Every structure is written in C-alpha cells, then in structure tokens.
C-alpha cells in the first residue's frame, strides 16, 4: 500500500476533542463552548483552568476549594525547590522546568494533575529568580505560599515584590489567553506520550520540550528579541525592507490555523495596553504597532498572540528567558485536560510514513 505524506500533518483530523474548538475561517477560539473573548473579559485564570479541566465554569465554592488545595500543595512541594539549586546553571529555564516536573512524582498525597497544576507556578517562579542578576534583577526566592490567586502568586513570586492590581489583572488575562488551543504541537506531544500509557509527569515534561521551539512557544521570546533589533519607529520601514530582503524571520506573525487573524491577538494586545498605561515612557508598544502595520502592508501577515505577549511581559519587567516558561505554566491546564481526555478513550498514536528511500535491493554475499 502506498502512503502519501501530509507534511506537518496539516489539515489532518486525527482525533476528536471536547476541550476547545479552533475555527480558522471565522477566527474563533472556544474553550468548552465559551468564546475566548468572554473568558478573558469575565473570568480569572483559575476559573478558566477549571473550565478547561472539568468542563464547566466553577461555582464560588469550587473555586475556593481549588485555591485552598493549591495553597496546600505548594506548601508541601516547596521544599523540593532545592532540586533546582543543583541543576547546571547553563540549562535553559524550560529544561529546568521539564526536569523539575519529573521530580514532583515523589508527591503522593494528591492526584498527579492536581500536583502539577498547583506546583508549576512555584517551579517557574523559582527558575525565574535563578536567571543571572546581570540579566535580571532579583535573585531572592520568597514566595507568598498563602496567596490563593494563581496569577498574583505567580507574578509576585517571579518578581519578588507586590504588584499593582491592574498589572496582576493584565497578567492574569494573558494566562487565560494562553491556556488552551487544540492539538497544537506541545499538546499533541502530551497526548502521544499518554497514548503509550506513559505517566502524567512524563507527558507534561515532554510537552514542555515541544513548547521550547521557536516555531511554537519560543516565539514570544524571539519576538521581543526581534523588536529590540528595530532601532526606532522612524526606521521600521527600512528595518523591515532589510529583514525581508535578507530572508529574516518575522517572529510573532501568522498562524497555521488562524490564517485570517488570531482571535487571541487583540486580547493579548489589550493586556499589553493595560500594562503600557502603567509604563507610559516605554517606546515598545508604539514600535510594535508601527511594525504590525508595516508587516501587514508588505506581507498581509497579522500578528499572533505571542507578538503582544512579548511586549506585555517586557513591560512587567520580566526577563525574556522566562517568557516561554510563563506560556508553559498557563498551558498546563490545557495539557492536563487533553491527557485526561486521551486516557478516557485511548488508542496508541502511531501514524504511517511515506517511504522515499531506495527501491527493494539485495546485499551481496
């Protein structure tokens, strides 16, 4: 039988899911039937995470219980943060996170998905404070383990200081927007590992590895590097012309499914603008807007969510090395939901390949 390859599995429907729906034609993204715009406007990340995981928005009582459990798990897991002090300093933050997740397996008082979801912000915050002081300021790790709100806990633990309410609210919304998006590469990786009957910790660790690439989660980190290379708003057109002529990449633009525009991009831009009002002296938002206009004029490419996320996290004072780690923490809810769904009706994911090697031949004695 001859098999014809479909590079990148583009447009291949390999399974069904009830978790989210990415509708490319109309640029819509639904989490369990709710438009992402509604969730970003009306729900906090903890509510969104429970929706993605459990199928319904939580009651007030369920949200309180969830947050109390997260506090208890973080307090129990906190001593394990010492592991991160013994990893090579040369490891990237995502590699550290991938290793640290595997170490959580020793915790047996809670279900694996509960431990991972609660512990990820704690692990990531510790990793953030390990980034060299020459690159980033605080090196003290002093998490407020009694803080119930995940976004507030995560942001203030990374920066080791209280943050304005509006900054926390904007950061929370970025996490909601990043929480889930169908069979993306990292989620598909988690489902593949799960399909082999691999454990949850291994599936999440593998998903983090998939997220690290610049064509997936690493795009936000690459986008801020790109924006820093643009000298000024006045020089956007000349910079872009050189970039296109030299074959340089435009990071943070385009999307495989949302070809008519990423519905998350304007939501992330609103988060960016919320933070820009707290840091009015920064030229980055104006620069990003000018480049967005120029790119669409020249290439008819629209930005995806990573483009404005990069600026938002820069405005918060976070190091770019941690941008993709934040993505991973937010996406953990989606990964865990897909792992659970894969287990419910599992079949080993094992595609075929189109053979392009030599025709049948024989060796000589």
Cβ–Cβ < 8 Å for 67, 154: no
Q: Is 21 helix (H, G, I), strand (E, B) or coil?
A: strand
Cβ–Cβ < 8 Å for 353, 5: yes
Q: Active-site residue among 46, 306, 320, 338?
A: 306
CA 312, CA 272: separation in Å to the nearest integer?
4
Give how far Cα 188 sits from Cα of 94, 306, 308, 338, Å. 18, 19, 25, 9
Rg (CA), the chain: 21
* Cα torsion angle, 214, 139, 315, 99, sign: positive
Q: Quick check: is 149 catalytic? A: no
Give how far Cα 254 sits from Cα of 50, 85, 294, Å. 29, 38, 14
CA 331, CA 338: separation in Å to the nearest integer?
11
Cβ-based neighbour number of residue 132 at 10 Å: 10
Q: Active-site residue among 255, 262, 320, 338?
A: 255
Tell me the HSE value of 311 on the side-chain side, using a 13 A CA sphere.
31
Residue at token pair 């991972």: 116
The residues, any chain, with a CB within 8 Å of residue 313's CB and separated by 6 or more, are 174, 220, 224, 320, 322, 323, 326
Q: Quick check: is 262 catalytic? A: no
The token pair that represents 195 in the structure block: 């399909």
Residue at token pair 């490419």: 301
Instruction: Show which residues are catalytic.
Output: 255, 306
């Amino acid at each position: 039988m001859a098999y014809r390859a479909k590079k990148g599995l583009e447009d291949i429907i390999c399974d069904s899911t009830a978790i989210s729906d990415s509708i490319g034609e109309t640029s819509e993204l639904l989490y369990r039937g709710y438009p992402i715009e509604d969730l970003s406007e009306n729900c906090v990340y903890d509510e969104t995470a429970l929706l993605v995981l459990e199928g319904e928005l939580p009651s007030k009582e369920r949200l309180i219980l969830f947050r109390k459990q997260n506090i208890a798990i973080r307090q129990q897991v906190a001593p394990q943060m010492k592991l991160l002090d013994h990893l090579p300093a040369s490891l990237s933050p995502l590699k550290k996170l991938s290793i640290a997740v595997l170490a959580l397996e020793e915790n047996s008082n809670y279900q694996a998905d509960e431990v991972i979801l609660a512990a990820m912000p704690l692990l990531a915050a510790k990793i953030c404070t390990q980034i060299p002081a020459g690159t980033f300021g605080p090196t003290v790790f002093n998490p407020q383990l009694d803080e119930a709100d995940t976004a507030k806990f995560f942001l203030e633990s990374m920066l080791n200081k209280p943050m304005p309410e509006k900054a926390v609210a904007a950061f929370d919304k970025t996490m909601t927007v990043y929480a889930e998006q169908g069979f993306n590469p990292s989620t598909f990786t988690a489902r593949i590992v799960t399909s082999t009957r691999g454990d949850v910790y291994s599936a999440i660790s593998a998903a983090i590895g998939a997220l690290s690439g610049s064509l997936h989660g690493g795009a936000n980190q690459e986008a801020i590097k790109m924006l820093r290379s643009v000298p000024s708003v006045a020089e956007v057109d000349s910079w872009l012309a050189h970039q296109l002529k030299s074959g340089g990449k435009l990071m943070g633009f385009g999307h495989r499914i949302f070809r008519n525009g990423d519905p998350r991009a304007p939501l992330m831009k609103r988060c960016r603008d919320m933070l820009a009002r707290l840091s009015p002296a920064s030229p980055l938002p104006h620069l990003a807007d000018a480049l967005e206009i120029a790119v669409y004029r020249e290439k008819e490419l629209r930005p995806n969510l990573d483009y404005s996320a990069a600026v938002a996290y820069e405005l918060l004072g976070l190091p770019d090395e941690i941008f993709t780690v934040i993505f991973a923490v937010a996406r953990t809810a989606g990964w865990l939901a897909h792992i659970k769904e894969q287990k419910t009706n599992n079949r080993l994911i094992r595609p075929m390949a189109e053979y392009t090697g030599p025709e049948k031949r024989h060796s000589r004695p």
